Structure 1
Amino acid sequence: MPIKKWTFQYSIAFPILSALFSSVQYFKGQTISYSVTFGLTWAFITIAIFATRRAYNFKKNIDCQLCNDLNPKDAQRK
């Protein structure tokens, strides 16, 4: 599994998602503390779901055009 690559990608995605979710809640009129908590929680949940599915696809050798983690040789065997 390309753990190093995925860790780097998720370390970039987590603050972006957190900021996005937090700003949406803040602009909806919530307090800053609630907005930050909401953003951090839902960013973590979103990344956990995506990472779990990505690891499952990698383990089962399911080609994912978005992820592009499989070797081209493996994808041609199907």
Structure 2
Amino acid sequence: MTELRAELKTQMIQICDKKISEKGQSVGVSFYAFFANKNTDPEGLMEVATWWIQTHQLDHFEKALKIRDMIEKGL
């Protein structure tokens, strides 16, 4: 099981919180939402993609609330 680095967890929670506050509790996110459009952090992108796709077999878009809760629960 892939464990995310603490800084990625923090970043993902902050982005989920921001999207939820802007667009409501039903807003969806993909793992790309946590990165800029430029390839500035390929290792981080692959880490999140592995956690998202291989470890948890999540759909391309998931509810931000679900992702935030998963991270907070240490999944």
TM tier relative to shorter chain: 0.3 to 0.5
Q: Which structure shows the bigger proportion of residues in strand conformation?
A: 2
TM-score, scaled relative to structure 1: 0.32
TM-score, scaled relative to structure 2: 0.33
Q: Which structure shows the bigger proportion of residues in helix conformation?
A: 1
Larger radius of gyration: 1
Task: Tell which has more relative contact order, 1 or 2 (C-alpha 8 A, sep 6+).
Answer: 2
